Structure 1
Amino acid sequence: MKSRLLKPDYVRNPNAPENEKLPFGKTVAFGLQHILTMYGGILAVPLIIGNAAGLSADQIATLVTASLFVGGLATVLQSAGLPFLGSRLPLVQGVSFAAVATMLAILSGNGSLTDVFGAIIVASIIGFLIAPFFAKIIRFFPPVVTGTVITAIGLTLFPVAANWAMGGNAEAEGYGSTMNIGLAVMTFVIIMIFSKVGVAALSRLSILLGLFVGTIIASLLGQADFSQVGSGSPISFPLIFEFGLPTFDLAAIISMVIVILVIKTETTADIIAVGEIIGSPVDSRRIADGLRADMLSSAIAPVFGSFTQSAFAQNVGLVALSGVKSRWVVTAGGGIMVALGLIPWLGQIVAAIPMPVLGGAGIVLFGTVAASGIRNLSTVKYEGNMNLIIVASALAFGMIPVVQPEFYSGFPSWIETIFESGISSAAIVAVILNIVFNELKIGNSPDPSVFAAKPIRFLTKTQLEDLEDGDVFIDGKLVDCDGEEVPVVPDEKVDEIRERIEHGEVTSTQELVKVVLEEQPTASSDKDQSPPRK
């Protein structure tokens, strides 16, 4: 009984899709594909924060190494799991973009990197404690909400793919050049070719192979730099509190708590999304376990010099695209990430992949996330309810910070922190509107507005009697079971046609069609028969 309490159904079931075990070689290959997919994203945050904090190049490299090391450990915890820790789903963890704006605000407000670390530790502990209560929102995530949020995840990631395709650094020379975009498009085409081939293994590894071939082509064109590979010590272990003991500023902690709530919202959406994609049940227990792993990893991260951790949405897209559902593949990817954090030259090889090549892969990955959300929305019923306006409003709010990043700049910082993420904006609006229209039915109009989307239709008994088994409508025409068109006779000609049939003047459907067509006046004949003008 005790083991059953510790292990929910999705852990005990060996046939669950996420529990599939692949051969060692495939497991490592697919795991590496996951890491290559999110590698550019996990490097961006330590680079941004390190430069904002005025760190030296060596210190920034330490932040990068720590982010890889902690991200790998967090990924193993999330996918492999421990009792009450980890969703045991194929989710890759890494440094969250959601905290960047708040960390920059702390640093620009005379705060230090140790203030950032202290705020993350306290806020993450709070997030860990409230995880079971936060997970209860699962009942407020029906398909109309999950489909909308998954779609928003994909749509909000498109600017990331576009930035990578242009070069990744707007200040660098050649940003947005035809060379960079050409490499991205070439990588995209290569991925499509590998996806098209009839060999399942090549199709599933299309992203990895596309990155590999794209990097080779970029190297031949002089767009990849491997000169730094092999420099430095062969092994480097992250040190504990290398940047000093954390300090605790109340304002920084409060702002970071808001960030943690945003991260929990995004991670919840990712857990639900990957569960939908692989066909594995997700309940409040599973979400709570995933959020606890998320928050524990975030609380430990500053000890090694890293930042808040969350599930990476782009890897959800890779699961959908590759069809590889095994969590052990992602666990292997976490192990590779730990190795990259310990062995600098391995990380240097991966870091040499040009950003435009990553951008070409990102177009496919992020588009797949959006398409998965659209597929979920196709199962939603829109008749006689307000689901259409829920989807429309949530997606609109999700896109606002994408198309206009400064939209919330005039609002209080806590509002800006929450709504500058298109994912959290869409999730919050979708959940609230779903509660208003679908949970709180008191006050709902019995006659929904035009947003109900579909008019009420009906047929009379006489109309039904005229139909026969096998009749179908194709392109606006009624076709019988033999594939012959059933002609539509004008109301004023019904009696005449019936009389001609009775007298044997019309003996087949084909003849009836000809009669109907002959008796329909054309525009030119009407014009010829009109009286002459005076």
Structure 2
Amino acid sequence: MRNTLSALQWAVFMIAGSIVAPVAIASLFHLDPAMSAGFVQRTMFVLGVAGILQVTLGHRLPINEGPAGLWWGVFVLYAGLSSAIFGSEMETLQALELAMIASGIIFILLSAFGMVEKLSRLFTPVVTGVYLLLLVAQLSGSFLNGMMGVGYLGEGIDLRIAGLSLLLVLISIWFSRSMPAMIQQYSILIILIIGWVIFALLGLAKPVSIPEGGPVAFPQIFAFGYPSWDSGMIVTAALVTLLLLTNMIASIRVVEEVLSRLTSQKPMGRYRQAGFISGINQMLGGVFSAVGSVPISGAAGFILTTGLKRRLPFIIGSGLIIIISLFPTLMAFFAALPEPVGYAVIFIVFVNMVGIAFNEFKKDSSEGKPFIIGISFMVGIGTMFIPPEAFQDAQPITASLLNNGLILGSLTAMITEQVLFRKKPQDHS
């Protein structure tokens, strides 16, 4: 029973953090309701499979896979360029299938040649801390917009939703400070149910749309058609792969740090194995016409908030995601989760990641630390304030990099530390 509840909480956390990306991408490409539902289903299926592959054969840590923000950004960029470059939106999606498959191959090659371990040594405590704070900064806008109801029932702020979101956040804080550890383990699941019920009683929850078709639907291979060749997409895939490697290593490092604090176990440092499996997972994203995945750093905050550090509940939870994705009605039910409730419930999870970042900073006492943090924040957070329209005339590959404050700030931290404050790299493996 205990494993079942823990697994269900993992599953809910995965869905709450992953459902928005495929829904938004489907809308951008003007997919009809049936194709949109299929796109969401295939993405969740791939995420469940990807999580099980990583926890059993890859990094072997309880880290949920989510739609990679980088791939999301690439989908957004090419959605606006589809008619100019590829002729139609469907041909664009076929080219993106190729990009994810190419990314998987590059991932596997980089892992085979030992590049993942070399890159992992650049993730010093300062770089990891910068990455985490920029991650929280990047997500804070989405969280506050979601919790205030912007774009949920209307375009503006909804004070009713904002008040309920604040109430759920306060309940989360109360749970984390006053409840016994046994109840804290299931705090996210309990508060999510409470929030969903309140929204339903007040008429603020969206109705569940029962999909047409049979009770079971298996994910379709190459649902948008077979991949179409485009040399520009291969270049984009190469850049995205290098940046996804950065995301993957950062997530592993952060979760290793949290688990070492909770269990006193030394980090496993299975970066090469994780790289191989990430390659397979990218290819699955392309083959199943889904969104490419990446290990999510938010798993560290989830583990710290709930204390769920064992692998078995995570494996069962990922299995539940796969099962849910095969049943369209179940998928539709979870997809109807009110977005403000999801944001409010996992708000504390990401707040806890700020503490993890400062603990990383404490490990480095070098004189260059303030400068590295300062310049990385100026670049990273400053980039987040540049309007997307500013990159409309740039090449997609350039826009993918320059429009991502998280990646640009993290790369700035790495380069500044290695060039201006060169020291012997720390081996975390």
Give the TM-score normalised by the residue count of structure 1: 0.72
- Matched residue, 2:417: 434
Question: 5+ unaligned residues in a row in structure 2: which ranges?
Answer: 425-429
Change (3 A) 1:99 1:133: same
Q: Larger RCO: Structure 1 or Structure 2 (Cα < 8 Å, ≥ 6 residues apart)? A: 2
- Following superposition, the deviation at residue 226 of structure 1 comes to 4.1
Tell me whether 1:63 sits opposite 2:35 in the alignment: no
User: Residue type matched to 2:71 in 1?
Assistant: A
Q: Find 1:135's aligned residue among 95, 117, 120.
A: 117
Tell me the distance in 2 between the aligned counterparts of 1:325 and 1:407.
Answer: 42
- Give, as a single letter, the amino acid of the residue that structure 2 aligns with 1:154: V
SS at match of 1:247: coil
Q: Deviations over 1:417-447 (max 9, x none)?
A: 1232232122211111111233269xxxxxx
C-alpha contact (below 8 Å) 2:168/2:345 kept by paired residues: yes
Q: 1:115 and 2:91 equivalent?
A: no
Change (3 A) 1:91 1:102: same
Q: Residues of 2 paired with 1:407 and 1:226: CA distance?
A: 35
Letter in 2 for 1:272: R
1:110-155 deviation line (CA, Å, top 9, x unaligned): 3321111112111221122113313312222221222222222222
> Which residue type is aligned with residue 191 of structure 2?
G
SS at match of 1:140: coil
Question: Which of 298, 303, 307 does residue 314 from structure 1 map onto?
Answer: 298
1:72 aligns with 2:48: yes
What code does the residue aligned with 1:148 have?
Answer: V
Name the structure with the higher helix share: 2
- Structure 1 distance, partners of 2:405, 2:225, is 34
| 1:268 aligned residue | 249
Counterpart secondary structure, 2:121: helix
Tell me, yes or no, if the aligned pair for 1:401 and 1:407 is still in contact at 8 Å. no
| CA-CA distance at 1:55 after TM superposition | 2.0
Q: Secondary structure at the match of 1:439?
A: coil
Partner of 1:344: 328
How many pairs align?
409
Q: Output the amino acid matched with 2:412.
A: V
Tell me which of 300, 324, 329 is aligned to 2:308.
Answer: 324
CA positional deviation for 1:352: 2.2
Aligned to 2:408: 425
- Whether contact under 8 Å (1:123, 1:256) holds in the other structure is yes
Secondary structure, in 3 states, of the residue corresponding to 1:248? coil
Residue 91 in structure 1 maps to residue 71 in structure 2: no
8 Å contact kept, 2:41–2:219: yes
Amino acid at match of 2:120: I
Answering whether residue 174 of structure 2 is matched by residue 193 of structure 1, we say yes
Does residue 231 of structure 2 align to residue 250 of structure 1? Answer: yes
Mapping of residues 105-504 of structure 1, within 5 Å? 105-107=77-79, 108-110=81-83, 111=86, 112=91, 113-131=93-111, 132-167=114-149, 169=151, 172-173=153-154, 175-228=156-209, 232-279=213-260, 280-282=265-267, 286-382=270-366, 385-406=367-388, 409=391, 412-439=395-422
Contact residue 49 and residue 103 of structure 1 kept, 8 A = yes
Return the offset for 1:376.
1.6
Change (3 A) 1:363 1:405: farther
CA distance 1:219–1:367, change in 2 (3 Å): same
2:427 maps to what in 1?
none
Within the alignment, does 1:48 sit opposite 2:32 as a pair?
no
CA RMSD of aligned residues (A): 2.3
Please say if residues 34 and 330 of structure 1, whose CA atoms lie closer than 8 Å, have aligned partners that are also in contact: yes
TM-score, length-scaled by structure 2: 0.88
Identity %: 24
C-alpha contact 1:400 1:422 (8 A) present in aligned 2: yes
Give the residue type in structure 2 aligned to 1:126. I
Say which SS state the counterpart of residue 346 (structure 2) adopts: helix
Report how far residue 319 of structure 1 moved.
1.4
Q: Secondary structure at the match of 1:369?
A: helix
Judged with a 3 Å threshold, the aligned counterparts in structure 2 of structure 1 residues 52 and 407 are, in CA distance, closer, same or farther, namely closer
Greater alpha carbon shift after TM alignment, 405-414 vs 178-187: 405-414
1:41-85 deviation digits (Å, cap 9, x = unpaired): 42223223323333211011100000011110001111122xxxx
Q: 1:368 to 1:403 in 2, by over 3 A?
A: farther
Does the aligned pair in 1 maintain the 2:54–2:274 contact within 8 Å?
yes
Structure 1 window deviating more from structure 2 (196-205 vs 65-74): it is 196-205
